[in-house]
Amino acid sequence: MQKKRSYLNTDNISRSTEKIEFHPLKPCIDNKTEILFLGSFPPKRSKWSKGFDFFYPNFINDHWRIMGQIFFCNKDFFVDNKNKTFLYEKILDFVEKHHIGYYDTAEAVHRLKDNASDKYLDIVKKTDLRELLANAPKCRHIITTGEKATTTLCQQLGIETIPKVGQSVTVSVRHADTQKNIGIHRLPSSSRAYPMPLKRKAELYQAMLVKVCLRTLQQ
């Protein structure tokens, strides 16, 4: 039997405390990644869907419904409604095929309240974006999902004017002897706490994906 692919960062999970949580997942990126989704930070593991140790794991978060709607015209394409979880291996195959990467803008956080709201996330350590991109040499586009992720990323890159939902900016990012232009694209949070219908979110996500990488949607 083939060993299940795992993105759990067991070292970070082990050293997390009640005060400081270290990122429980390893970055989902490789040398073929072309588009990188960046959120803020995962919810507590007690909120994760059963058997789904990956990004956007909360069953009431609509990220994977949005992706199913965009790519397959079926919001439940990646959803196991009976068991209230997402289809792990199917999703990993999908992101690998389309060269889509995932991570977050924070490496370590302190939760000011016991919930998943970005509003109450105090970032202790930001993700080193330059180091992250060094492992994804083909990546030319970063999509942020939510205000916290967008603000954190813009602060790190020195972007003074934070793009609004649906807007983009281009920034030059340097790591070691390599410098490249990266498009930063802001999309609405896929959390249901963000007041926008799923259909409208899917339209915005699709428009942005078509804009940044039409080939991805045509394969």
Please give the average per-residue pLDDT across 68-76, as a whole number: 96
Query: Considering the chain, what percentage of its residues have pLDDT values greater than 90?
Result: 75
Please give the average per-residue pLDDT across 29-45, as a whole number: 94
**Domain extents for the chain?**
29-104+129-218
* pLDDT tens sequence across 96-126: 999 999 999 999 999 988 776 778 889 999 9
Q: Is CATH 3.30.1050.10 what the domain over 29-104+129-218 is classified as, yes or no?
A: no
Query: Considering the chain, what percentage of its residues have pLDDT values greater than 70?
Result: 94
User: pTM for this structure?
Assistant: 0.92
**pLDDT score for 125:** 96
DSSP state of 194: S
* pLDDT tens sequence across 158-214: 898 999 999 999 998 876 677 889 999 999 999 998 899 999 999 999 999 887 765
